[in-house]
Amino acid sequence: MPTISERGLQMPSSPIRKLAPLARAAKQEGVKVYRLNIGQPDLPTPQKGLDALKTIDRKTLEYSPSEGLESFRNTLTGYYAKFGLDVHPDEIIVTAGGSEAILLTFLACMNPGDEMIMTEPGYANYISFAVTAGIHVKAVTSHIEDGFALPPVEAFEEAITPRTRAILLCNPNNPTGYVYSREELQKIKEIVRKYDLYLFSDEVYREFVYTDEPYLSALNLGLDQNVILIDSVSKRYSECGIRVGMIVTRNRLVRDTVMKYCQARLSPPLLGQIVAEASTVGTEAYSKACFEEYKARRDFFIKRLNQIPGVFSPMPHGAFYTVASLPVADAEEFCRWCLTDFRYENQTIMMAPAAGFYRDPDLGRNQVRMAYVLKIEDLDRALTVLEKALEVYNSR
């Protein structure tokens, strides 16, 4: 029997999804599982997007162009303009979700053995895609006690070596919900310019910023040749399953290189693009309602979370996640136990152990990532279950 690859062995399991079999087993027992582990919003997809499926009059569901439908890319320029971003349709390449956007960006910009700096805790799949591409990730640690603020510039400079090719930011941040300030981004800009690095900026949560400060995209930092924007419609329109994301960059060579990968995989999903295009136009009221809903959930959730004895969560200012510390030594063991052993009125809770979001295996052991993607009454109930679970777990 032939062996599997070394890189396959090195691929981490998803900290977000690896407990899924345990949750399925609980569900099959008839237990209600509150899923705070995954950024799968319960909000509806825009009706315009759903309606677009009903009116497709194509007889053959053919390939779209490798770079995405022209009409969709045109529509996106109007979307970006609303955020003060001047983007030409040719600067947009449509991908199979933000996931593919990340992988193709890594492949086009970095060689195996190159290094990329990101903050930890960080979105675990960046590391998965880095392993896929043979990239070494150097993590600069942000701390729960600082509300996961951007580490000082000196920490980034210390991490730079001759193999460093890129800094990756996720802003607003998944998993912490942190939104970088103008001053922080200016400091990043200085490093990027000084060392002529790529700046990969994942801004898929830009619609969900709960501060009054105007949002600053990396595309507006004045670093045209260095910045690659990673984007996706998944979260902003609650349509994660359609798999539509995009790479936006003014760097033509990067676009040309990404396009070679895009041609190899032929086409991004046609149906998803049709839904995404319809979701993008005339849905301002929808977006506002989603924003208000998430803001209300955040306000409720973080307050309630911090009322549980021994639990601490900073106040996230964007996205719909938080990383909280629990009064347990091993949060992964606790998360598993919740799914396998604990029921409160036949209910339990699913969270993502945060250790998988850190590079340093000693960090985040007592932390979990939670997504406030459920209705407030469900969030309330989920946190009641969590509180009871902690009581039982710690008195065993």
Interface with a second copy includes 54 (CB under 8 A)?
Answer: yes
Query: Of 226-245, which residues contact a second copy (CB under 8 A)?
Result: 226, 238-243
Residue from 143, 194, 265, 303 that binds a second copy (CB under 8 A)? 265
Interface with a second copy includes 287 (CB under 8 A)?
Answer: no
Least distance (Å) from a second copy to the CB of residue 149? Answer: 27
Residue written as token pair 């087993």: 25
Asked if the peptide bond before residue 268 counts as cis, ω within 30 degrees of 0, the response is: no
AA letter at 208: F
Beta bridge partners of 140: 119
Q: Do β-strands 245-248 and 92-95 pair in parallel, antiparallel, or remain unpaired?
A: antiparallel
Residue from 25, 29, 63, 340 that binds a second copy (CB under 8 A)? 63
d(CA 355, CA 352) in angstroms, rounded, equals: 9
Largest CA distance in the chain: 63
Residue from 27, 77, 132, 327 that binds a second copy (CB under 8 A)? 132
| Alpha-carbon torsion angle 345, 350, 355, 356, nearest 10 | 160
What 3-state class would DSSP assign to 223?
Answer: coil
Nearer to a second copy, 218 or 311 (CB): 218
d(CA 79, CA 231) in angstroms, rounded, equals: 12
Interface with a second copy includes 37 (CB under 8 A)?
Answer: no
Query: Of 138-177, which residues contact a second copy (CB under 8 A)?
Result: 165-166
Kindly state the number of chain residues that form the binding site for a second copy, as judged by CB under 8 A: 84
Interface with a second copy includes 56 (CB under 8 A)?
Answer: yes
Stretch that binds a second copy, among 34-42, 151-159, 330-338, 382-390 (CB under 8 A): 34-42
Nearer to a second copy, 116 or 326 (CB): 116
Query: Of 296-335, which residues contact a second copy (CB under 8 A)?
Result: none
CA distances from 357 to 96, 126, 251, 369 (A): 23, 9, 30, 9
Least distance (Å) from a second copy to the CB of residue 103? Answer: 8
